[in-house]
Chains A and B, each alone.
Chain A
Amino acid sequence: MSHIQIRNLSVHYGDRRVLRNITLDVPDGQLVALIGPSGCGKTTFLKSLNRLLDLVDDTHVTGQVLIDGEDIYGEKADVAALRKKIGFLSQRPYPLPMSIHDNIAFGPRIHGMEVSVEHYLRLAGLWEEVQDRLHTPASRLSIGQQQRLALARALAVEPGAILADEPTSALDPHSVKIVENQFRLLKRDYTVLMVTHILRQARRLADYIVFFYLGELVEHGPAEAFFTSPKDDRTKAYVSGEIS
């Protein structure tokens, strides 16, 4: 399990500041929901934790993100090794252009690890559905299955934490239920950070809530306390549905 600490993190896209001075200790082994209205910086925050922001042009990051005590924006940081430690699930699943089996085996093979494809497909709750067609193209899976494949693929490189960017927003209700159930199981062994703009989903799943508003971290705390007695006025307005 990875230890994630954020210190004074700010992110600019060009001249526009999208994250302002974020400081947060992510609680280990919990499912942490990042909530807030669209455009409040949730996804940017998530992508700053595994340096996927590097791929966006004209981004400027200041502050520190410490993973297991090491600053990932430090000069000596090994980005590939960092990303192996922190799994990532995008909003819309993108299987790699290869077979179901190879989608899982690709990551471990690159890192020179042994892999049991079956194990990770089971962890993601997909094994029963694909066990007799492992060598067919992953592109033929339904979008709900593709998202679970993406989850299995991320788990296969044995990360300590999982980042998930609205992982159910592109899925049908049935797949949403399956994926949510997998997340409930995963939080026993992983720290999970999940961006969601669905409050009910955060209530259903999260142990800990982090609330962003217009690029600021407004409030964070254990889920129950957060929902029953929010402190900040903006949080109250958001939780009660006055702003969304």
Chain B
Amino acid sequence: MRLRRFKESLFRFLMIASLSLVVTAFVAILATIVVKGASAMNLAMLLETPKGGYYLGKGGGIANAIAGTLYLGLGASLLSLLVGLPAALALQKEYARPWLSRFSRLVLDILWGTPSIVYGAFGFVVMVRFGIRASMLGGILALSLVMLPIMVRSMGEVIRAVPQELKESAYALGTTQTEVTLAVVLRQAVPGILTAILLAFGRGVGDAAALLFTAGYTDYMPGSLLDPVASLPLAIFFQIATPVPEVQARAYAAALILLAIVLAINLASRLLGRRFSRHVIQ
């Protein structure tokens, strides 16, 4: 009996210790970013583009990278959603045979785990082949490759979780597969679909490697789809690599802004999710 009680407390201790470790790590990361970035954070960072000598510690900001990241993130999310949602719906058992959907999920899991530099390199090869230079379009395409497996895979799970009995109730009225998918499955899955978009967006906007060769970098505000575009992850990467302490501090400020963007999108999608989930059947 004493041994069992000991096991019980040991197990409890291990669980709480692991949880504390995770929370501590997260708090430490956040604290580092805030402490190191606070000195560089000001309105100019948010609203101005880099001025002459910016990378040596002179004036300006990273509005170009903030805008670039928003364009890239939203563009790539939209593109992956357009392709990903139908793909996720097609994984339902009404459309795909079991072996096909198992195989697709395996492939998607591998793609999900593929380092984003591989997507960047692939995008670069394709762009060189077609004579396209580093541009917003290239960045959006590379990022959507990063996002797509995340979206399809997570949406697929949400869609699979729609109760079979719910679909049966709709089929029993004499509806077709398409009618059930559009009117019932999608509505039921909307909150989960929003979460999937968010997950992909979060991964996408934080990615530097996929953008390195495809989107390039510029000190100007984003122009056309065919011009290079700045992004926050690359802004962090370039600034932290300089020997100037003021510029390094700006890298942390940029990280803070990136975190804030992800947090804002997260909150927004939660609010939207709540709005759309009023009809969801428990």
| A154 adjacent to B172 (CB under 8 Å) | yes
Residues of B within 8 A of A83 (CB): 171-175
Select the stretch in B30-38, B121-129, B181-189 that faces chain A: B181-189
Contact of B93 among A57, A82, A150 (CB under 8 A): A57
Chain A hits for B98, CB < 8 A: 57
**Of B94, B167, B172, B179, most A-chain CB atoms within 10 Å:** B172
Max count, chain A CB within 10 A of own CB: residue among B94, B164, B175, B188: B175
**Residue A90 at the B interface, CB < 8 A?**
yes
Contacts of B94 on A, CB cut-off 8 Å? 55
Identify the closest chain A residue to B185 (Cβ): A97
Judge whether A106 and B172 touch: CB under 8 Å: no
Complex Cα distance, B151 from A29, in Å, reads 51
Contacts of A110 in B (CB 8 A): 173-175, 179
**By the criterion CB–CB under 8 Å, are A88 and B183 in contact?**
no
Residue ID in chain A nearest B183 by CB atoms: A106
Q: Does B223 contact A (CB under 8 A)?
A: no
* Known contacts A57-B98, A92-B165, A94-B163; A137/B279 CB under 8 A: yes
CB contact between B280 and one of A81, A111, A139 (< 8 Å): that residue: A139
Q: Could you tell me if A88 and B279 are in contact, using CB atoms closer than 8 angstroms?
A: no
B278: interface (CB < 8 Å)? yes
The distance from the CB of A188 to the nearest CB of chain B, in whole angstroms, is 22
Does A95 make an interface contact (CB < 8 A)?
A: yes
Cβ-Cβ contact count across A and B, 8 Å cutoff: 87
Q: Which of B94, B169, B281 has the most CB of A within 10 A?
A: B169
B174 touches A107 (CB 8 A): yes
A111-B172 contact, Cβ under 8 Å, with A94-B281, A96-B184: no
Contacting residues, chain B, for A57 (C-beta < 8 A): 93, 98
Q: Is the CB of A94 within 8 A of B169?
A: yes
Shortest Cβ distance from B173 into A: residue: A107
CB < 8 Å neighbour of B169 from A80, A99, A150, A157: A150
Q: Does B209 make an interface contact (CB < 8 A)?
A: no
Smallest CB–CB gap between B99 and chain A, Å? 12
Write out the residue numbers on chain B whose beta carbons fall within 8 Å of the beta carbon of A98: 183, 187, 279
Scan A46-87; emit 1 where CB is below 8 A from any B CB, else 0.
000010100101000000000000000000000011111101
The answer to the question of A153 belonging to the interface, with a C-beta cut-off of 8 Å to chain B, is: yes
Q: Contact check, B168 vs A52: say whether CB atoms are below 8 A apart.
A: yes
**Does any Cβ of A come within 8 Å of B18's Cβ?**
no
Q: Judging by beta carbons under 8 Å apart, are A95 and B173 in contact?
A: no
- What does the 1/0 interface line of B74-115 toward A look like (CB < 8 Å)? 000000000000000000011000100000000000000000
A55 touches B171 (CB 8 A): yes
Q: Give A24 Cβ to nearest chain B Cβ, in Å.
A: 21
B276 vs chain A, min Cβ distance (A): 10
Instruction: Knowing A96-B184, A98-B279, say if A55 contacts B167 (CB, 8 Å).
Output: yes
Provide the bound-state CA to CA distance between A98 and B278, in Å.
Answer: 9
Shortest distance from the beta carbon of B116 to any chain A beta carbon, whole Å: 36
Which of B170, B174, B188 is close to A84, meaning CB atoms less than 8 Å apart?
B174
Complex Cα distance A52/B166, Å?
Answer: 12
| Docked pose: A99 CA to B165 CA in angstroms | 18
Q: Is B176 a contact partner of A95 (Cβ separation < 8 A)?
A: no
A83–B66 CA distance with the chains assembled, in angstroms: 55
Are A80 and B176 touching (Cβ within 8 A)? yes
> What's the minimum C-beta distance from A13 to chain B, rounded to whole angstroms?
15
Minimum CB–CB distance for A178 against chain B, Å: 20
Q: Which residue of B lies closest to A107 (CB)?
A: B173
Residues of the A chain whose Cβ atoms lie less than 8 Å from the Cβ of B184: 96-97
B224 contacts A by Cβ under 8 Å:
no
Nearest CB of chain A from residue B262's CB, rounded to whole Å: 29
Contacts A97-B188, A110-B174, A154-B173 known; A55 to B168 CB distance under 8 Å? yes
**Nearest chain B residue, comparing its CB with the CB of A82:** B174
Q: A57-B98, A98-B187 are in contact. Are A87 and B176 (CB under 8 A)?
A: no
Report the minimal beta-carbon distance from A77 to chain B, rounded to whole angstroms. 13
Closest chain A residue, CB of each to CB of B186: A97
Q: Are A96 and B169 in contact (CB under 8 A)?
A: yes
The interface bits of chain B over 176-210 (1 if a CB of A lies within 8 angstroms of the residue's CB, else 0) are 10010001100110000000000000000000000
Q: A94-B163, A139-B281, A139-B282 are in contact. Are A87 and B172 (CB under 8 A)?
A: yes
Say how far A193's CB is from chain B's closest CB, in angstroms.
13
Q: Which residues of the partner chain B approach A90 to less than 8 Å between Cβ atoms?
A: 165, 168-169, 172
7 closest residue pairs by CB, A with B: A84-B174, A88-B172, A107-B173, A83-B174, A97-B279, A97-B187, A94-B169
Can you offer 13 A-B residue contacts whose CB atoms are under 8 A? A52-B168, A55-B164, A80-B176, A81-B174, A83-B173, A85-B174, A90-B169, A93-B169, A94-B168, A97-B188, A99-B279, A107-B173, A139-B281
